[in-house]
Amino acid sequence: MSVRVRRIHEPPRPDDGLRVLVDRLWPRGVAKEAARVDEWPKGLTPSTELRTWFHGGASYEEFRARYEAELGAPEAAGLLDGLRESVREGPVTLLTATRTPERSHAQVLLELLGG
């Protein structure tokens, strides 16, 4: 199993495998062709309400707990299971525009996927 997080602003690499955008909004300044995104499961991303709350200065630990609760909803859980299957089949790169991926929803997903 190989799963990692990279910023979408970085150029694609040959060993990225399946490239999955895990942000709800398309990142500014990134051309879709250049990004080479294979999947964009918006239902797996934090809700707008949760994202806004977190950017308002909430703690990462509380954000993580609330996001994991959102991932328990049927649509998100199904998408997460599908992503787990993709990880079993080959490398997966989770793409995000956040400047601090290690303290974001992408890190939560990485850990849930065994990365």
C-alpha span between 25 and 19 (Å, rounded): 16
Residue-wise pLDDT for 13-59, tens only, equals 999 999 999 999 999 999 999 999 999 999 999 999 999 999 899 99
Number of Cβ within a 10 Å radius of residue 75: 13
Sheet containing 18-21, strands listed edge to edge, beginning at the edge strand earlier in sequence: 3-7, 92-96, 18-21
Instruction: Please give the torsion angle defined by the CA atoms of residues 2, 45, 85 and 33, in that order, rounded to the nearest 10 degrees.
Output: -70
pTM of the predicted structure, to 2 decimals: 0.94
Residue-wise pLDDT for 64-79, tens only, equals 999 999 999 999 999 9
Element (H, E) at 92: strand 92-96
Q: Cα-atom radius of gyration of the chain, to the nearest Å? A: 13
